[in-house]
């Protein structure tokens, strides 16, 4: 056996995947080296590692990463996913440096990294593929709708659905720009688009001794911007016959490739007919791998680390079985109400509820900054159940029980999706969001907002009293006379919520003239109280004037209105502002142009994805404040449409 042991591993990645790899490596007695850029200096993965090396500029600096491994005595490199994980040259350079590479060979990465070559190999292996072309003039031969895809990578970058010939030219330009930014390669191809379809992928493992197995399927159909947000195993659409057929197709291709390490063969399935076609092979660990781990009991990272040192898998296809159901949700810093645009900010609150059974794969903590430099995923949340309904219920409860604040997230949208009738019935096709339209946020009623503000007021008065240097043991607002009424004002969006309370001599409070409040417990992180017989226990976090209150349905962010407000700048009438930080890659209008509501006016690039800004109303462009290639802050004034 060609066996190469190693005791120290460098992880050429960041965030939750770095944390994930460290956990499995530590379980195997392998120490870990992290690499990080300045923006990640205080990130959890850096603290988890046994040692860490700061990079001068980027996670794409392959020479510096390899040198960090050599300098620290690391004998192997795990690339995680994203960044350099599917970079064949990096893989070769790692081996040339005398280090072990935790992943498939550079030959496989090269052949599968180019989707056009991958399709050709799949056809030669007898795996069905969709009709496609690289020539836009032949697009009509395939027939609309079409899907434009980047030849050099995935993750939704460089992908566009085209419904008619008039949109083809502009969609190709946009896809090429995004592909060039994301992969350094602007080649695209055009293939048939299947509107009512599912994304089903087969997890494969192969060793250096010719053994290859698959670990069943995952369904990853619920997507926005062609990026997955909910994944599960097994798929509610796949029966044993289809599983066998897709598994056999994946193994055919894996054997032809002589595949080593973990990988994923992705298929597109026609939901009506059950017909399936090859999409691509991801030659790396997938974000959604935990659902397969939950249903098979196989630690995929552990297997990667074993395979890299030359070990035999030690089991065969007939030894693998699946139990129960697992579902994963990706918690993102993004605004579902604003077309899922990425959001930025500081997590002033982040605390999963330990009493709810769930796996949290996360690379952030309270105080972490969510910026524009990296993917805005906060955490992957995975729940396992004896059946699909149990897994869905656990996952929605885990998300709802999370105390989080300081940045807009898709948490409410995920909960409403998981609890929708369509999801629970397994109707999870790729058009799920457009067809089912789950509520994108939870909108508290006026009574609920008033209760939230009341809890915030009671917690703040407790905090003020606790921090008082003099007379701290006396009731808030105490005077040597009748206790006065206290007032606080809060804002929830555009809604102002005034709260008045008066401390009673029995320690309780009169609230808003018509309610009685009893406080049972208070500390600097939570409060337990009763409002008119309704007992509520809430986590509360305050940072400057922002207060996050945890309620049974989720979190509510309130702003404390200062008693004395300084004059501010007036709002610019007709001003169109940037919905997110980003770079201007295209200006669609000039001064004097007339626009209709919904017309594209600016294309912004953020996190290597393009985002279109549309005119909110019809009008005439009066003034433009930006230019191409300019980097913008969130809320920057773009132009005035009169």
Q: Say if strands 486-492 and 495-503 run parallel, antiparallel, or are unpaired.
A: antiparallel
**Measured between alpha carbons, how far is residue 244 from residues 268, 276, 293 in Å?**
16, 13, 19
Cβ 147 vs Cβ 159: under 8 Å: yes
Q: Which stretches within 114-258 are classed as H helix?
A: 115-124, 139-142, 168-183, 240-257
User: Which helix (H) or strand (E) is 228 found in, with range?
Assistant: strand 227-233
Q: Which residue reads 């309130």 in tokens?
A: 558
Q: DSSP state, 195?
A: S
Q: How many whole angstroms separate alpha carbon 304 and alpha carbon 321? A: 19
Q: In terms of Cα–Cα distance, which of 532, 570, 568, 536 is closest to 552?
A: 536
Cβ neighbourhood burial of 278 (10 Å; 0-12, 13-18, 19+): buried
What does residue 188 show for φ and ψ, rounded to 5 degrees?
-130, 165
CA angle (93, 98, 99) in 5-degree steps:
80
Helix axes 411-418, 388-400, angle to 10 degrees: 150
Cβ 584 vs Cβ 578: under 8 Å: no
Q: Which residues are catalytic?
A: 284
- Residue 410: which residues within 8 A CB-CB, separation 6 or more? 229, 331, 332, 334, 336, 340
């Amino acid at each position: 056996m060609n066996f190469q042991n190693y005791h120290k591993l460098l992880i050429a990645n960041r965030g939750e995947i770095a944390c994930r790899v460290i956990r499995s490596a530590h379980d195997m007695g392998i120490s870990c080296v992290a690499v990080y850029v300045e923006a990640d200096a205080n990130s959890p993965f850096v603290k988890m590692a046994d040692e860490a090396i700061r990079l001068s500029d980027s996670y794409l600096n392959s020479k510096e990463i390899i040198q960090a491994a050599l300098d620290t005595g690391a004998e192997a490199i795990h690339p995680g996913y994203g960044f350099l994980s599917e970079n064949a040259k990096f893989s070769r350079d790692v081996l040339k440096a005398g280090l072990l590479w935790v992943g498939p060979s550079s030959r496989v990465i090269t052949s599968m990294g180019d989707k056009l070559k991958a399709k050709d190999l799949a056809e030669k292996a007898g795996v069905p593929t969709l009709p496609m072309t690289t020539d836009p003039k032949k697009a009509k031969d395939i027939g609309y709708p079409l899907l434009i895809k980047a030849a050099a990578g995935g993750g939704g970058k460089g992908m566009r659905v085209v419904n008619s010939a008039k949109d083809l030219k502009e969609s190709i330009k946009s896809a090429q720009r995004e592909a060039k930014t994301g992969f350094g390669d602007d080649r695209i191809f055009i293939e048939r688009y299947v509107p009512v379809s599912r994304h089903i992928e087969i997890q494969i493992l192969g060793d250096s001794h010719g053994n290859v197995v698959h670990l069943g399927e995952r369904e990853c159909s619920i997507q926005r911007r062609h990026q997955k947000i909910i994944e599960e195993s097994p798929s509610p659409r796949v029966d044993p016959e289809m599983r066998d057929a897709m598994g056999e197709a994946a193994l055919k291709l894996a054997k032809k490739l002589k595949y080593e390490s973990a990988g994923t063969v992705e298929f597109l399935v026609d939901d009506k007919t059950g017909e399936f076609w090859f999409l691509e092979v991801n030659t790396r660990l997938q974000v959604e791998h935990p659902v397969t781990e939950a249903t098979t009991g196989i630690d995929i990272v552990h297997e990667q680390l074993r395979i890299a040192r030359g070990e035999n898998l030690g089991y065969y296809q007939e030894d693998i079985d699946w139990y129960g159901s697992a579902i994963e949700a990706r918690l993102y810093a993004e605004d579902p109400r604003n077309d899922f645009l990425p959001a930025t900010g500081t997590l002033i609150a982040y605390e999963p509820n330990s009493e709810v059974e769930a796996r949290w794969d996360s690379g952030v903590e309270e105080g972490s900054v969510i910026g524009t430099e990296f993917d805005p995923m906060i955490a992957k949340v995975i729940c396992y159940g004896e059946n699909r309904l149990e897994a869905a219920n656990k996952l929605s409860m885990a998300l709802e029980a999370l105390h989080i604040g300081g940045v807009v997230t898709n948490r409410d949208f995920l909960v409403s999706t998981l609890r929708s009738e369509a999801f629970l019935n397994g109707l999870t096709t790729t058009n799920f969001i457009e067809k089912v339209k789950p509520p994108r946020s939870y909108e508290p009623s006026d009574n609920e907002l008033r209760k939230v503000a009341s809890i915030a007021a009671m917690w703040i008065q407790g905090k003020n009293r606790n921090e008082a240097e003099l007379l701290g043991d006396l009731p808030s607002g105490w005077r040597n006379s009748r206790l006065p009424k206290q007032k606080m004002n809060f804002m929830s969006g555009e809604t102002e919520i005034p709260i008045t309370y008066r401390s009673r001599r029995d320690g309780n409070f009169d609230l808003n003239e018509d309610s009685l409040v009893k406080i049972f417990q208070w500390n600097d992180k939570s409060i337990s109280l009763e409002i008119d017989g309704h007992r509520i226990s809430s986590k509360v976090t305050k940072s400057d004037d922002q207060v996050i209150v945890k309620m049974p349905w989720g979190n509510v962010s309130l702003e404390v209105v200062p008693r004395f407000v300084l004059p501010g700048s007036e709002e610019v009438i007709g001003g169109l502002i940037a919905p997110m930080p980003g770079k201007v890659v295209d200006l669609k209008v000039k001064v004097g142009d007339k626009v209709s509501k919904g017309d594209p006016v600016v294309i912004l690039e953020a996190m290597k994805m393009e985002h279109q800004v549309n005119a909110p109303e019809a009008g005439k462009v009066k003034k433009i404040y930006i230019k191409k290639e300019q980097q913008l802050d969130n809320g920057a004034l773009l132009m005035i449409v009169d």
